[in-house]
Amino acid sequence: MNNSSSATTDFLSIVVRLLGLVMLLIGLFVGIKVIFEAWDLYKEPQNIERFADAIEQGSHLDVMLAKFTLHPKTNDSESVTQQPLQAAATSAESLRLTYFLAWIIAVLLLMVVGGLASSAIRTGGQLALYDLQVKRFARQLIEEARKTDRRD
């Protein structure tokens, strides 16, 4: 019975260590990808334009902002509806809120993914080194038990 239990424990220990190693490697890969993406945005900041355009297509924030800046105090709905959309787009090109929003979102996403990668590395390392931690803890318990036996 004891031999079967030991074999099962050894098998599970190997599986846990392998899963920890896989998690560690995935975390390292994702972390490296995040670093390269951040470096790429630093070297070529115009790449954020695609992201800003996608935000604009989905939300139309720049067009809405242009409408408010062109006619901030008009109550006449006809003048707003007759306003050509091209004029709003031209004004939106001067100040693109979505460009700044895209930078904020990109930086936040890089930080979140980097944090997840860091957690995966830490957890994978702990799982891969699980036996060492358990042995260290058992050794400390034995030493404490010996110290209390000597005091009595």
Q: What's the domain range around 124?
A: 2-151
Find, among 62, 94, 93, 67, the residue nearest to 79 by Cα. Answer: 67
Output the pTM of the full model. Answer: 0.66
Question: Can you read off the two tokens belonging to residue 42?
Answer: 């630093």
Q: What's the burial of 77, exposed, middle or buried (CB within 10 Å: 0-12/13-18/19+)?
A: exposed
Query: Mutual orientation of helices 97-128 and 61-70 as an angle, nearest 10°?
Result: 150
pLDDT of residue 75: 53
pLDDT of residue 138: 73
Domains in the chain: how many in total? Answer: 1
| Distance from C-alpha of 90 to C-alpha of 139, rounded to nearest angstrom | 72
pLDDT of residue 60: 85
Per-residue pLDDT of the chain (152 residues; tens, 9 = 90+): 567 767 787 788 888 889 999 999 999 999 999 999 999 999 998 989 988 888 889 888 888 887 777 655 555 555 545 455 555 555 445 678 888 999 999 999 999 999 999 999 999 998 888 767 777 777 787 888 888 877 76
